[in-house]
Amino acid sequence: MEKNYRPDTLCVQAGYSPKSGEARIPPIVQSTTYAYEKAQDMADLFDLKTDGYFYSRLANPTVAAFEGKVAALERGVCAIGCASGMSATALMVMTVAGAGDNVVSSSAIYGGSYNLFSVTLPKLGIECRFFDPDAPAEEIEKLIDGKTKLIFTETIANPSIVVLDFDKFASISKKYGVLFAVDNTLATPILCRPKDWGANLVVHSSSKYLDGHAAALGGVIVDLGNFDFKNNPRYPSFNQPDESYHGLVYADLPVAFGTKCRAQMIRDFGAIMSPQNGFLSYIGCDTLALRMERHSKNAAKIAEYLAHHPKIEWIKHPSLKDNKYYNLAQKYLPDGQGGMMSFGIKGSVEKCAQFMESLKLITQETHVADVRSCVLHPASTTHRQLSEEDLKAAGVPHNLVRLSVGIENADDLIADLEQALEKV
């Protein structure tokens, strides 16, 4: 696939090119294994000398079509489809960090990722040090030491809608020779390509906009191919032979991170995307560019409406001129700021429930970022395990309602919000 195609063309065409007489869209290869005639052909696959398939826990042709499409969209060198967004984040971190290491992460991230970093990874000996993404660089730098393997951030944070200041993190990453990883779920490569702003790794919950239809759970890790592991003392596991893989030295390979991630993490944890979900996510991405345009337009119109509503205490959407992140959004998300917003309803927390239960078209869901609009009250659901202090750090006040704006008609959505706010 021609590298210079624009994102909307890549959405439709990248990842799969049929040969004469083959299916036009990727077939669902629902097979755990693959047959070979020559023993040497299989041996070459095991030695990573040739590309191909031998067992679907490591790679599968349908999932590969989806991986190819996302890699092209993010301008990466390799993508790895995972069972979920959470497994993608966990495996990405574990590819570089082990017991005794640490990662530094924005505190304004998805609640599940926060839990992974603050509770589960420490049980494996991986410490996580959180920072306020708006803090000055010097403060964030204080958290980095010789054992820091990764800086973790979100382009548009869920649910606090903080827009990432990429330049700040890219310069910290360069200064310390440490990987800069971005969860690009809520922006997608249509609205922002982290590689253009110095990121080295991207992770997605493809269960969200990439699939777009709330049909397929999945995640994807993208190696952007722009980090030099060679001779970097921070990453001995890339520079020393991997005895579990015939003494391979990952830093010597053209695709260092992606190969290590698949050869070690996918092999040992097995959290790969299923062929069925690979297929759904692949065809879901066909319309990603169109959908992101509509999500963004709808959200901007609704944000403007809510900003002037007397029952709304505050509203956060980066399209609004008085939003704290307006200037960053104009720089990093100039073509649209996505469909996610949050707002606070005036009065007690009970008013949030009253409002949400009165909605007729917009449904209450844990999900976000698909074609149908939905709302959620994070403090009593996704973030309920967080303490008062952690909620504050994650930018989630008690009266926050998260609204994921879909691609319905914006005026129908506004009418639904209007009638529900009347009942509060």
Ligand X SMILES: Cc1ncc(COP(=O)(O)O)c(C=O)c1O
Determine if 211 is a binding residue for ligand X (CB under 6 A): no
**In contact, 171 and 192? CB cutoff 8 Å:** no
- Beta carbons within 8 Å of 398's beta carbon, 6+ residues apart: 349, 379, 391
CB of 84 to ligand X, least distance (A): 3
CB of 87 to ligand X, least distance (A): 7
Determine if 264 is a binding residue for ligand X (CB under 6 A): no
**Closest to ligand X by CB, 224 or 420:** 224
Three-state DSSP class for 43? helix
**Closest to ligand X by CB, 160 or 319:** 160
Among 7, 15, 61, 85, binds ligand X (CB under 6 A): 85
Residue 364: closest CA among 289, 295, 420:
420
CA pair distance 241, 252, nearest whole angstrom:
10
CA pair distance 110, 93, nearest whole angstrom:
15
Among 62, 185, 264, 298, binds ligand X (CB under 6 A): 185
CB of 185 to ligand X, least distance (A): 4
Residue 178: closest CA among 198, 151, 210:
151
For 37, 160, 208, the CA distances from 372, given in Å and listed in that order, are: 48, 20, 11
Please choose, out of 16-24, 81-89, 314-322, 326-334, the segment that lies near ligand X by the rule CB under 6 A. Answer: 81-89
**Which residue's C-beta sits nearest to ligand X?**
85
Q: How many residues does the chain have?
A: 424
Identify the DSSP state of 119.
I
CB neighbourhood size of 214 (10 A):
18
**Closest to ligand X by CB, 87 or 259:** 87
CB of 355 to ligand X, least distance (A): 22
Determine if 110 is a binding residue for ligand X (CB under 6 A): yes
CA pair distance 337, 317, nearest whole angstrom:
8
Helix (H) or strand (E) holding 91: helix 85-96
Beta strands in 307-369 (DSSP E): 312-316, 340-345, 363-364
**Closest to ligand X by CB, 188 or 259:** 188
Number of residues that bind ligand X (CB under 6 A): 15
Token pair for residue 180? Answer: 């800069």
204 backbone dihedrals φ, ψ, rounded to 5° = -130, 145
CA pair distance 208, 369, nearest whole angstrom:
5
CB of 209 to ligand X, least distance (A): 10
> Which alpha helices (DSSP H) does 225-346 contain, by range?
236-239, 256-260, 267-269, 275-285, 288-307, 326-332
Among 65, 79, 201, 217, binds ligand X (CB under 6 A): 217
Determine if 56 is a binding residue for ligand X (CB under 6 A): no
Q: Is the peptide bond before 233 cis (omega within 30 degrees of 0)?
A: no
Determine if 280 is a binding residue for ligand X (CB under 6 A): no
Determine if 338 is a binding residue for ligand X (CB under 6 A): no
Please choose, out of 134-142, 183-191, 249-257, 268-276, the segment that lies near ligand X by the rule CB under 6 A. Answer: 183-191
CA-based max dimension of the chain:
73
What is the Cα Rg of the chain in Å? 22
Q: For helices 61-73 and 275-285, what crossing angle results, to 10°?
A: 30
Question: What residues between 344 and 403 interact with ligand X by CB under 6 A?
Answer: none
Determine if 205 is a binding residue for ligand X (CB under 6 A): yes
Site string for ligand X, 119-158 (x = CB under 6 A): -----------------------------------x---x
Among 72, 73, 78, 86, binds ligand X (CB under 6 A): 86
Among 207, 342, 373, 404, binds ligand X (CB under 6 A): 207
**Closest to ligand X by CB, 45 or 336:** 336
Among 183, 211, 223, 370, binds ligand X (CB under 6 A): 183
CB of 217 to ligand X, least distance (A): 6
Please choose, out of 2-10, 70-78, 83-91, 120-128, the segment that lies near ligand X by the rule CB under 6 A. Answer: 83-91
Determine if 184 is a binding residue for ligand X (CB under 6 A): no
Determine if 337 is a binding residue for ligand X (CB under 6 A): no
**Closest to ligand X by CB, 181 or 256:** 181
**Closest to ligand X by CB, 112 or 133:** 112
Token pair for residue 248? Answer: 């391979």
Rounded to a whole number of angstroms, the distance between the first and last alpha carbons of the chain is 53
**Closest to ligand X by CB, 256 or 379:** 379
Strand partners, 80: 221
In the complex, the residues that contact ligand X under the rule CB under 6 A are 84-86, 110, 112-113, 154, 158, 183, 185-186, 205, 207, 217, 219
